[in-house]
């Protein structure tokens, strides 16, 4: 299968020996190559300072990338041809002459140039300046990984500096949750079917939950995480982006600015949180030692790189409101955390019960009608409704209709990074975060960050392997509801 866009590309990967490149970026490019989705003339340029030669870099790739692409058996022929695409340039960011070497090394390579910065955010601006100094900011796209800044001020500083070198339409701020198949299907579900759109509003929706839960702790990222926390790491980007997708109005079309304009309207309509009310609508927690799947795991404060007296949150639960006609009065509950009971990312739309039931109290129970969009680990959409149990009498039971993508569609699903990298190469911006979206998210999050920084109260403790602090459940109970896993 030949790529529909065979104009060629040069994909330059900074941080080419880093963990993100090994686990996500290069495996995604390999899958696109194996599936025939990359232009035959396209090249991948690894940029790092750790290896001296191309052969040494390819050895590193063989050792560190293969384990992430061979889950279903590695196609050795495809792998060998993929390695032929790879060029290596040794580069020290502190040496201006090394960027001249990079420019000369890719001068004859084909097509649009994509510069992917899989590095720490402190290097974004120096790399962009160095690229511009040798003329590599022309006919180019730049991909920025999160976190893009520590707060609104630092985010604006990075965006201002990068924006002086690259135009906004050249900048791809990546959020891999937007590339997940069920998120794309959420758009199809809402805007491609007459069934749901009339119900997707305050008159019929009682509440919405968005959860991103992880079983893992901070692992080897203690130094980074202790200066970041769950609110910056997950809420400001992933959760608010998912919220904007769920709540947005139908766009004029699916072009990049139409979609992002509607997401921006949602972010700007978020009800500002009064600092005096933060304790009522925001819960922060920190995991302590506990047991996950039979294994004893340490508490956050004893993790490598974490300060023993750290007040960094590893769990956040929020009650969010959107001040517009579609969603006024509907609570959105957002939750994320580490060392929780399960690894799951899902969106739960709880529809209102029928106003009157001749079929008994079961039909009036909250949660009788529900849509669950599972993003991970298995990607499914499940619609819950009530049906009569077989036998005598009118006894109702909850049943569900499933769309399991891996069972319904014969072709394999595309991983989020694969979709997003192909979009970068082909110049599609719809699934990337525009600067004004990012600013709106930071403006909404900052009062919470500031209040938590000023309070002497530590995060609420929770045992590893649970679903977080009890205060998270209590917050929902005040609204007559509970988290999905608590219903059983």
| Annotated binding-site members for NADP(+) | 49, 92-93, 146
- Phi then psi for residue 11, to 5 deg, are -100, 105
In this structure, are strands 290-292 and 295-297 parallel, antiparallel, or unpaired? antiparallel
Six-digit token pair at 56? 């040494």
3-class secondary-structure state, position 257: helix
For the CA atoms of 340, 346, 347, 353, the dihedral, rounded to the nearest 10 degrees, stands at: -80
Q: Which helix (H) or strand (E) holds 406?
A: helix 405-408
Rounded to the nearest 5°, which phi and psi values hold at 285?
-140, 170
Could you please report the per-residue DSSP string of 224-252?
HHHTTHHIIIIIIIIIHHHHHHHHPPPPS
The C-alpha atoms of residue 162 and residue 168 are separated, in whole angstroms, by 9
342's tokens: 């399960």
Residues making up the annotated binding site for substrate are 176, 180, 214, 233, 338
| DSSP characters over 104-142 | HHHTTS-SEEEEEE-S-GGGHHHHHHHHHHTTTTSSEEE
- Closest C-alpha among 329, 333, 337, 368 to residue 347: 333
Could you give the C-alpha distances from 307 to 68, 72, 297, 311, in angstroms and in order? 32, 41, 17, 9
Phi, psi dihedral angles at 19 (to 5 degrees): -60, -45
Chain-centre distance for alpha carbon 180 = 8
- What span, in angstroms and rounded, lies between the C-alpha atoms of 159 and 361? 55
Q: Dig out the tokens for 390 from the structure.
A: 């077989």
- What tokens were used for 233? 């790491």
Q: Report the catalytic residues.
A: 238
Structure tokens belonging to residue 135: 């003329």
Binding-site residues sit at 49, 92-93, 146, 176, 180, 214, 233, 338
Q: How many residues does the chain have?
A: 488
Contact 183, 177 (CB under 8 A): yes
The alpha carbon of 273 is separated from its chain's Cα centroid by a whole number of angstroms, namely 23
Full DSSP string of 309-375: T----SEEEEEE-B-STTTTT--EEEEEESSBSS-EEEEEEEEPPPSS-SS-GGGGSTTSSEEEEEE
Cis peptide before 116 (omega within 30 of 0): no
């Amino acid at each position: 299968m030949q790529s529909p866009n065979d104009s060629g590309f040069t994909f330059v990967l900074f941080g080419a020996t880093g963990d993100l490149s090994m686990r996500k970026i290069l495996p995604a490019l390999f899958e696109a190559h194996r599936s025939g989705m990359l232009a035959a003339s396209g090249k991948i340029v690894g940029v790092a300072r750790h290896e001296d030669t191309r052969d040494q870099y390819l050895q590193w790739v063989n050792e560190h990338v293969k384990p992430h692409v061979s889950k279903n058996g590695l196609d050795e022929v495809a792998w060998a041809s993929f390695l032929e695409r790879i060029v290596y340039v040794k580069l020290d960011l502190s040496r201006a002459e090394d960027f001249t070497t990079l420019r000369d090394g890719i001068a004859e390579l084909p097509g649009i140039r994509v510069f992917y910065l899989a590095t720490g955010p402190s290097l974004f601006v120096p790399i962009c300046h160095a690229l511009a100094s040798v003329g590599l900011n022309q006919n180019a796209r730049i991909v920025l990984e999160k976190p893009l800044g520590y707060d609104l001020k630092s985010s604006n500083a990075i965006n201002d500096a990068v924006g002086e070198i690259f135009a906004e339409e050249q900048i791809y701020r990546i959020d891999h949750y937007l590339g997940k198949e069920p998120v794309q299907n959420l758009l199809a579900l809402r805007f491609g079917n007459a069934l749901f759109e009339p119900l997707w509003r305050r008159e019929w929706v009682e509440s919405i939950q968005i959860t991103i839960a992880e079983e893992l702790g901070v692992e080897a990222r203690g130094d980074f995480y202790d200066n970041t926390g769950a609110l910056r790491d997950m809420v400001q980007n992933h959760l608010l982006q998912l919220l904007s997708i769920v709540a947005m109005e139908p766009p004029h079309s699916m072009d990049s600015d139409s979609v992002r304009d509607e997401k921006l309207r949602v972010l700007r309509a978020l009800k500002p949180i009064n600092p005096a009310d933060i304790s009522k609508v925001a819960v922060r927690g920190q995991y302590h030692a506990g047991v996950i799947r039979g294994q004893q795991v340490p508490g956050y404060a004893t993790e490598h790189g974490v300060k023993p007296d750290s007040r960094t949150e590893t769990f956040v639960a929020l009650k969010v409101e959107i001040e517009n006609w579609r969603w006024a009065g509907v609570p959105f509950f957002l939750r994320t955390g580490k060392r929780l009971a399960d690894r799951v990312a899902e969106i739960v739309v709880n529809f209102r019960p029928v106003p009157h039931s001749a079929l008994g109290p079961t039909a009036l129970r909250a949660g009788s009608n529900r849509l669950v969009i599972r993003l991970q680990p298995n990607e499914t959409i499940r619609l819950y409704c009530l049906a009569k149990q077989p036998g005598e009498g009118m006894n109702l039971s909850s049943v569900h209709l499933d769309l399991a993508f891996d069972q319904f569609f014969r072709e394999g699903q595309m991983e989020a990074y694969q979709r997003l990298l192909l979009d970068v190469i082909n110049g599609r911006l719809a699934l990337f975060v525009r600067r004004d979206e990012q600013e709106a998210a930071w403006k909404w999050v900052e009062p919470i960050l500031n209040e938590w920084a000023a309070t002497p109260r530590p995060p609420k403790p929770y045992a590893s392997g649970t679903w977080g602090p009890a205060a998270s459940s209590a917050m929902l109970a005040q609204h007559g509801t509970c988290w999905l896993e608590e219903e059983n």
